[in-house]
Amino acid sequence: MDRSGASCYIYSKASGMLASSYTGERSLLLKAVKSLEELWSMLFKESVPSASDTELAELIEKKSAEKLAKEYRTLLNTYSKPYEVCTELLNAFEQVTFKNNFESEPVKKIFKACDKLSGSDRENVKKILTERYSIKNIIWVMRLKVYYKMSAEEIKDQILYLDDAKSSNDPFVKEALKIADWKIDDYPRWSKWKYSYLVNKHDSKIFRLDPKFAEEKASEEFYKSVKRAFHREPFTPLVLVSWFFIKQNELDLIRSVTEALRLNVQLDQVV
């Protein structure tokens, strides 16, 4: 199959896969699950294994990640020669998920592979990747400030840079570094920020930044962004990049639901 035909097939196949995924409105089905056994039955065809809650939770998370990787590889293999950026995206996911490797180097390889794309494809994919890792850094900085009481100076060494120079103008860290020294109770300042939609509202005089709220809003908005990208450029590499991030959004929710069920707490209590 030539590249044009493969791209048409991939868009159709990937669209069908997303239709049955637990994303968007269908994510409510995951959030309504009452037990790990029910969650397993919803996600997999195999019978629920005999295992403790801790073991079953680990199996669900591992098997869900393996399923994502397998489905993505199936789509990639439609091409006789897949786009390198898509291959590196899968490699990065597998290294971080299954080998516990630090995320920095794999991400740099993904971004470098973008340069082998042409014109608008290159810019569109880079835009999605920059948005993804910039927001991840922002959420991480919030967590470091609120949960670990880190200073701005300490935070600088804990975030993901695109360039080895670790410049403050690095596209992955620009906004994250901007908030590194903001006080977590200074609502007027946070409310005027570029990403103020990530800031929890408050009705009383007391405000405290909530990283959990920010993470949920970021996930919601990024999902909308990549879903639009998926349909906007249907026969380009952006389809596979967008599809991957949509499915990773689903995987993140599966992990959160699994953890909440394992701990027997409400989903919003999982940090």
- Sole residue written with tokens 């995924």: 21
What's the pLDDT at 251?
A: 97
Q: What pLDDT is stored for residue 12 in this prediction?
A: 96
Residues near 150 by beta carbon (within 8 Å), at least 6 away in sequence? 144, 158
pLDDT of residue 131: 96
CB 197 within 8 A of CB 77: no
Question: How many Å apart are CA 177 and CA 247, to the nearest integer?
Answer: 29
CA atoms within 13 A on the CB side of 180: 18
Using alpha carbons, select from 85, 110, 78 the residue that is nearest to residue 96: 110
Tally Cβ neighbours within 10 Å of residue 226.
22
pTM of the model: 0.93
- Per-residue pLDDT at 103: 72
Nearest alpha carbon to residue 75 among 92, 67, 251: 67
The end-to-end CA distance of the chain, in Å, is 46
Please, which residues have CB within 8 angstroms of residue 229's CB and are 6 or more apart in sequence? 124, 128, 238, 241, 242
- The pLDDT of residue 202: 81
* Per-residue H/E/C for 25-41: HHHHHHHCCCCHHHHHH
pLDDT tens for each residue of 19-62:
999 999 999 999 999 999 999 999 999 999 999 999 999 999 99
Q: Of 244, 238, 251, which Cα lies nearest the Cα of 74?
A: 244
Q: Which residues of the chain have pLDDT under 50?
A: none
pLDDT at position 212 is: 93
CA distance 211 to 141: 9
Predicted local distance difference test score (pLDDT) of residue 101: 67
69-76, Cβ contacts within 8 angstroms, sequence gap of 24 or more: 69/93, 69/94, 69/97, 71/17, 71/247, 72/240, 72/243, 72/244, 72/247, 75/10, 75/13, 75/14, 75/240, 75/243, 76/240
